[in-house]
Structure 1
């Protein structure tokens, strides 16, 4: 794993020694990348939130013009790649994959502290992931471009959301980007495979070494706090058997991500101070190899998916469906309905 920190340039990462203070409202999510099997590169995440995020499954064709923030100094772009995304509150891209097999996942990181204002163009953290999906086919290219931008925390649903971002591509390359102490911390490499919430990834990896399978003596924890979920996801990922085919690879990883999901009504009994223990509302699996994006709502026993090979990537219509609709199941590529045109940015520009 290559790790870098930078403000306006890249440098050597410093270890983080304390969890930064944060507000009482959080989103507790988990991300797992399986890039060591020979059938498919697949990533899975849970979306855990204290409120209904009003998810919408949206297909965005190429050619959508966007502006990164509403203020004067903003990055502007027109999407080169089509993407299928999950939006939150009709205001942010929280998860998704593009036609090149790049996926992004926004997760909550308690205590995130953004960089100070500078001369770089601004990009809203609500559009952070969408910028990557719109423009890049590899993790490395995305990181190089993001270095030249300043990520701006914006209000969504009446509040700001401290976030970190995971990016994966079809080769199995991966990166996690965090804001710690006013600096950007980048963890980059094919061994960056699990992310939950606080503390930052440096501390999560140090804690992992206390547990069996990673050199320690402790048994696997079973609680719902972020550190327990990180250990559990890492442990199950390490012991996954080789899949017989792509379907089995997706099913195996879906089983792991379900094991770190938080049931409604669950209580954190770990004794820690984490606030990131809200219920899972949906999960996703991204098949980077075959360009299929799966969604698993928790209010339904069904799984639904969108197949890029069945969509018009350079079309003019933005298409969408509410994934929590009762009875919705299977391949919904043909069930997506017009929601707007490429002349309308969705999620909205900031």
Structure 2
């Protein structure tokens, strides 16, 4: 198959019906474990009110891309291969590249981007793929992102406020948010948990109210973003040292399960957040051994892709439906040639 641009633009949640009004969101959680002595691992949940039709995609090097459909767009050719999960064949939700750099896009209600300037534009819905395509470390990504302007993309009649978490194999981490029209970056090996609203700075202040972090409040059990943040931070803090990489992956997956939202769960916190939709899937990125795991909720199976088994200079984009309940274990051999949906990158909304 001739290599073309894969159509991974538009909204991650493009084509979703607007049945529930303006506050529909991805209510996700992220946990990064970088101090266990065995492996650097990250886990995230994808929470959404509708099936996001996830596809597991392997993207080789050399794919040409464009940051927005029209105007002064950032353009690039992918330097690194990546394994990602897409939503609705429209955008990258989550993934890791061949160097062990991972990127995770989560909802942040009220995110407000910077004003227009001279930098070329990059859709916030292409933000994670841009990072995975171009950089090997968090420091490189933060420097490189200075040259582009993140813009909010409109999809299916609305815009989607988002923030981005990135981590690398050295244990470095960053969260990038847009708050009140300015970019806010939290960078360092202590940046290990992210959920949704409010912004990370407020989450960290709230965390100090709870036991193990200087406060007196007991562990919260609700499914709203603040409670999930406290729970993930607490269980990450108390994880025992793993015996090996396998155990590190298992332990971080266990923490992810404590913040997963079961189907039918009701938020009893009394808060106003709409970010409490059920978990559709979770992922674990093993930055040390370059293995990307997927844990769907429609199956008890876990499956993964080992980068060592795939050709980064391959001539095809490879993919498989991540909802396939027969997937189990290492699935690089199940990935099949996936014809790009179109040449434009991205299409007009």
Q: Give the secondary structure class of the aligned counterpart of 2:338.
A: strand
Tell me, in whole angstroms, the C-alpha distance in 1 between the residues paired with 2:100 and 2:342: 24
Structure 2 counterpart of 1:11:
none
Deviation (angstroms), 1:160:
1.6
| 8 Å contact from structure 1 (residues 91, 156) kept in 2 | no
List per-residue Cα deviations over 1:4-38 (Å, max 9, x = no partner): xxxxxxxxxxxxxxxxxx93211100000000011
Structure 2 counterpart of 1:201:
200
Structure 2 counterpart of 1:12:
none
| 8 Å contact from structure 2 (residues 177, 185) kept in 1 | yes
Structure 1 counterpart of 2:141:
142
Structure 2 counterpart of 1:319:
318
Q: Give the secondary structure class of the aligned counterpart of 1:129.
A: helix
Q: What does 1:146-225 align with in structure 2 at a 5 Å threshold?
A: 146-225=145-224
User: Is 1:112 equivalent to 2:111 in the alignment?
Assistant: yes
| 8 Å contact from structure 1 (residues 64, 344) kept in 2 | no
Q: Give the secondary structure class of the aligned counterpart of 1:105.
A: strand
Q: Give the secondary structure class of the aligned counterpart of 1:132.
A: helix
| 8 Å contact from structure 2 (residues 68, 346) kept in 1 | no
| 8 Å contact from structure 2 (residues 220, 227) kept in 1 | yes
Deviation (angstroms), 1:158:
3.9
Q: What does 1:258-269 align with in structure 2 at a 5 Å threshold?
A: 258-269=257-268
Moved more, 63-72 or 221-230: 63-72
Tell me, in whole angstroms, the C-alpha distance in 2 between the residues paired with 1:314 and 1:25: 39
Deviation (angstroms), 1:348:
4.6
| 8 Å contact from structure 1 (residues 62, 81) kept in 2 | yes
Structure 2 counterpart of 1:293:
292
Aligned residues: 328
| 8 Å contact from structure 1 (residues 66, 349) kept in 2 | no
Structure 2 counterpart of 1:44:
43
Tell me, in whole angstroms, the C-alpha distance in 2 between the residues paired with 1:126 and 1:42: 24
Structure 1 counterpart of 2:32:
33
Moved more, 65-74 or 170-179: 65-74
Moved more, 151-160 or 140-149: 151-160
List per-residue Cα deviations over 1:186-221 (Å, max 9, x = no partner): 000000000000000000000000000000000000
Structure 1 counterpart of 2:120:
121
Moved more, 174-183 or 64-73: 64-73
List per-residue Cα deviations over 1:276-331 (Å, max 9, x = no partner): 00000000000000000000010100001000000011011000001111221111
Q: Evaluate the alpha carbon distance shift between residue 101 and residue 347 of structure 1 in structure 2; reply closer, same or farther with a 3 A threshold.
A: farther
Q: TM-score, normalised by structure 2?
A: 0.91
Q: Give the secondary structure class of the aligned counterpart of 2:248.
A: helix
Tell me, in whole angstroms, the C-alpha distance in 1 between the residues paired with 2:345 and 2:260: 26
Tell me, in whole angstroms, the C-alpha distance in 1 between the residues paired with 2:95 and 2:280: 16
Q: What does 1:80-119 align with in structure 2 at a 5 Å threshold?
A: 80-119=79-118
| 8 Å contact from structure 1 (residues 89, 157) kept in 2 | no
Tell me, in whole angstroms, the C-alpha distance in 2 between the residues paired with 1:346 and 1:80: 20
Structure 1 counterpart of 2:16:
none
Moved more, 272-281 or 145-154: 145-154
Runs of 4 or more, structure 1, over 3 Å off, are 343-350
Structure 2 counterpart of 1:279:
278
Structure 2 counterpart of 1:247:
246
| 8 Å contact from structure 1 (residues 45, 284) kept in 2 | yes
Q: Evaluate the alpha carbon distance shift between residue 226 and residue 293 of structure 1 in structure 2; reply closer, same or farther with a 3 A threshold.
A: same
Q: Give the secondary structure class of the aligned counterpart of 1:309.
A: helix
Deviation (angstroms), 1:345:
6.8
Tell me, in whole angstroms, the C-alpha distance in 2 between the residues paired with 1:140 and 1:46: 25
Structure 2 counterpart of 1:309:
308
